[in-house]
A and B are shown apart, each in its own frame.
Chain A
Amino acid sequence: MDLYSVTLEGPAPWGFRLQGGKDFNMPLTVSRLTPGGKAAQQNVGVGDWVVSIDGVNAEGLTHVEAQNKIKACTDRLSLTLSR
């Protein structure tokens, strides 16, 4: 369990697909990376769990909540992930 943080410089798109959520009973994970995208550039991994979004714990967020949170970060997106 490796925790690491990335800060992606805006604007969106960030270049990754988010999957999961409390309502799906699945952890929020990165299911796909856009090659050469911002997330890929910051060495985010496919299958990594999203632990916090912009400093807020992602555990317990529904998919839509997580999605909205990420969308709210326009200039800069800070994520803490776990490989």
Chain B
Amino acid sequence: MTHIETSVIYNDQEYDQYEYMVQEEEWDRDLLLDPAWEKQQRKTFTAWCNSHLRKAGTQIENIEEDFRNGLKLMLLLEVISGERLPKPDRGKMRFHKIANVNKALDFIASKGVKLVSIGAEEIVDGNVKMTLGMIWTIILRFAIQDISVEGKNYAVIFIQFKTIIWKDGLAFCALIHRHRPDLIDYSKLNKDDPLGNLNLALEIAEKHLDIPKMLDAEDIVNTPKPDERAIMTYVSCFYHAFAGAEQAETAANRICKVLGVNQENEKLMEEYERLASQLLEWIRRTIPWLENRTPEKTMVSMQQKLEDFRDYRRMHKPPKVQEKCQLEINFNTLQTKLRISNRPAFMPSEGKMVSDIASAWQNLEQAEKGYEEWLLNEIRRLERLEHLAEKFRQKASIHESWAQDKEKILSRKDYESASLTEVRALLRKHEAFESDLAAHQDRVEQIAAIAQELNELDYHAVAEVNERCQRICDLWDKLGTMTQKRREALERTEKLLETIDQLFLEFAKRAAPFNNWMEGAMEDLQDMFIVHTVEEIQSLISAHEQFKATLPEADSERQAILGIQNEIQKISHSYNIVLSLTNPYSTIKSEGISAKWDKVKQLVPQRDQALQEELARQHSNERLRRQFAAQANVIGPWIQKKMEEIAHSSIEMSGTLEDQMTQLKQYEHVIVNYKPNIDKLEGDHQLIQESLIFDNKHTNYTMEHIRVGWELLLTTIARTMNEIETQILTRDAKGISQEQMNEFRASFNHFDRKKKGGMETDDFRACLISMGYDLGEVEFARIMTLVDPNGSGIVSFQSFIDFMTRETADTDTAEQVIASFRILAGDKPYILAEELRRELPPEQAQYCITRMPAYTGPGKAPGALDYSSFSTALYGESDL
């Protein structure tokens, strides 16, 4: 930095303009005296005025002359202040000019300038000094006073003004360089070339800074002290240029700023508009896409649409959202900026207003929502459609396959040749089929419903569906009709078969008992009968008659039965029932019945005959019976009587035993003589037996009776006689007298309570007691065994007598026999075989040897035989 430059550095301090002005005024008077300065001033000021008047399109040539009318003065003021003065008077008279100049001066005064001693007349008169002074005042006020560079008052420069060396031109150059370094290369300047420097500066100033050459270089150089005012004026031009430039720069800056802001704002507005358009365009493009409601055919393509929509939401829209956001931000920013920079608010163009965008966006979002909804609905619909379509297909297929063979089945005529059970079975099967059909009714309806829904939902292949559905429904109706027909046919057939079956049953029900009856009848008619009485045969005959009475009824039954069979045949012929006419309930055939009937008819008279024959026979038998009976009824009692007589006689005690014997012999004789009767009876009996007569109600006596009685009689008489003989023997043997005998007899008869000729055990006991025997049970038992060895419970008279006499008689006892044996054995307790043979007859000896046990007692010898036990054994008694 040069010295000069440093002196041009600004002072911060501000000086009061007014103070300066007053000082300046004081200079005025003094300085105007120098004509050199006047020349310089004149040049400079003229140049200065012209530089301004140029803008108004006018110039001055002579400063004191051209301002005289005041018009150009007023014009000058207007130009340099930028304000309008009052309208100048357009007269040529002096007072007009004065008025105009006054207007100018008033104006200057209104700007706060005290114009001391400058009057309008002097100006009008062309006073150079005054005019220059006025112009200087104007310059001071409007050119110099206003100078501020960067807010700093240039005023302080002028205080130093005088100290600045202007003569060498370097100051000017420095000044230029300070503000426009590009115009001067200060380092190349020569201090010693003031003229050159000045001219350079003047040249540059005029060319580049639009500052006319207000100074004359030679004048400056040559004048020892150039006119300060001229120089100040010229320098002020520089300042104004620079300030202007700076102002312009600032202004330019401001303008740039403002413009920049403007530009920026404009750019923002443009941007906004652009973005808005873009966005709106995008929205405008997008909305139709979102409003597109063309349905797709398949769910896949719909899902693709959904996918596209998702992409839109995920990828395409967010940037747009951001754009919108950005747009809003931009808008807000723009508005804020505009507000801040005091500009009117931004009004977007028609259709791009915030509200437009907002509403467009809203439309978009609504469209989106609508679209999404539509998409989902469509997808649902398509899904449902596809599902339904599939369901339809499936159900239809199932149904079709089920229905496939049903037609064939239903058109069978299998019932025509079936039996009743088969028809019934077919009916059951048909019932099952019918219920199956009913179950399928549901399904057909479902299929139809699905088809309906597919129609409503506008399925793309609905025609095919409808066709198939129609086919199914038609077939269904057909199946229905066929089912009905078949049912009717089956039922009809069943009915017929049932009727026939009933008839068969009826036939069976009646034929069976009838058949049985006939067989029974046949059997009865051929029945072998054995009758023994007339009554029997007569009852058979009456039974037969009764049977014959039932024949007409039977015959009608037979006809009825045969009638049934005919009926069956009639029905089956008339209805063409092709089934075997075997009666399932019966094996009986009508032919069989007829045959049997004939047989029965045949047998009846045969039976009649047989019965009659038998009747005759029975009659003859009866006669034989009577004959027999007559005799037997005589003989029987006779025998009885005789028996009684004999018994009586044996019991009776009249006479001796010999007398009894005689009597008995008499009886015997009578009896023997009676024999022929018996024989005759036997003869009759023979006849009876030959006639196979087994009973005889005319007599209680059978031949056997008679025979037995007869034999009994014979035996009784013999026995009784024998008894008497025995008694005689006993009497003789034991020496019992007749009285004793009678006594025994009396006792016996007394105790023979039942008079049977024999005592019972109790009777015997009583008898013994009465005779004085005091018997214990044991003894009595012993005695019983003796008198009643057979255990018959009856004690005969003989036994009684034996017992009674035994007690007193000397009888052989076991001891006696043993004693006899001992004698034979030589007093040994045993006997030897040779001894037996020696003493006894060989037979009896052998008997003893065989039966005698070996002797086991003491002192036994070989071959010793025990005669004791043998003897006791003989009597049935052994001591052990």
Binding site for B on A (CB under 8 A): 12-14, 16-21, 23-26, 29, 31-32, 46-47, 63-64, 67-68, 70-71
Given contacts A26-B791, A71-B853, contact A19 B877 (CB under 8 A): yes
B780 CB, min distance to chain A CBs, angstroms: 9
Which residues of the other chain, B, contact A29 by a CB distance below 8 angstroms? 781, 785
Q: Contact at A18–B877, with CB atoms within 8 Å?
A: yes
Q: Contact at B785–A26, with CB atoms within 8 Å?
A: yes
Q: Contact at A68–B853, with CB atoms within 8 Å?
A: yes
Q: Does B316 contact A (CB under 8 A)?
A: no
Q: Contact at A47–B778, with CB atoms within 8 Å?
A: yes
Q: Contact at A18–B789, with CB atoms within 8 Å?
A: no
Q: How many A-B residue pairs have CB under 8 A?
A: 62
Q: Does B436 contact A (CB under 8 A)?
A: no
Q: Contact at B777–A47, with CB atoms within 8 Å?
A: yes
Q: Contact at B873–A67, with CB atoms within 8 Å?
A: yes
A5 CA / B810 CA spacing, docked (Å) = 39
Q: Which positions 776-828 of chain B face chain A at CB distance < 8 Å?
A: 777-778, 781-782, 785, 789-791
Q: Does B856 contact A (CB under 8 A)?
A: yes
Q: Contact at B873–A64, with CB atoms within 8 Å?
A: yes
A16 CA / B778 CA spacing, docked (Å) = 14
Q: Contact at B873–A17, with CB atoms within 8 Å?
A: no
User: Which B residue's beta carbon lies closest to that of A23?
Assistant: B876
Count, chain B residues at interface, CB 8 A:
20
A23 CB, min distance to chain B CBs, angstroms: 8
Which residues of the other chain, B, contact A14 by a CB distance below 8 angstroms? 880
> Can you show 7 pairs from A to B with CB atoms below 8 A apart?
A17-B877, A21-B873, A25-B791, A29-B785, A63-B876, A67-B878, A70-B880
Going nearest first, the 5 A-B pairs with the smallest beta carbon separation are A24-B876, A46-B778, A18-B878, A67-B878, A19-B877
User: Which B residue's beta carbon lies closest to that of A27?
Assistant: B791
Q: Does B12 contact A (CB under 8 A)?
A: no
Which residues of the other chain, B, contact A19 by a CB distance below 8 angstroms? 782, 785, 876-878
A17 CA / B687 CA spacing, docked (Å) = 62
Q: Contact at B880–A16, with CB atoms within 8 Å?
A: yes
Q: Does B599 contact A (CB under 8 A)?
A: no
Given contacts A18-B880, A63-B873, A64-B873, contact A31 B791 (CB under 8 A): no
Q: Contact at A64–B853, with CB atoms within 8 Å?
A: yes
Q: Contact at B876–A20, with CB atoms within 8 Å?
A: yes
Q: Contact at B778–A64, with CB atoms within 8 Å?
A: no
Q: Contact at B869–A67, with CB atoms within 8 Å?
A: yes
A79 CA / B787 CA spacing, docked (Å) = 28
Q: Which positions 745-792 of chain B face chain A at CB distance < 8 Å?
A: 777-778, 781-782, 785, 789-791
Q: Does B851 contact A (CB under 8 A)?
A: yes
Query: Among the interface residues B782, B785, B877, B880, which one has the most CB atoms of the partner chain A within 10 A?
Result: B880
A81 CB, min distance to chain B CBs, angstroms: 13
Which residues of the other chain, A, contact B851 by a CB distance below 8 angstroms? 64
B716 CB, min distance to chain A CBs, angstroms: 25
B350 CB, min distance to chain A CBs, angstroms: 151
Which residues of the other chain, A, contact B880 by a CB distance below 8 angstroms? 12-14, 16-18, 67, 70-71
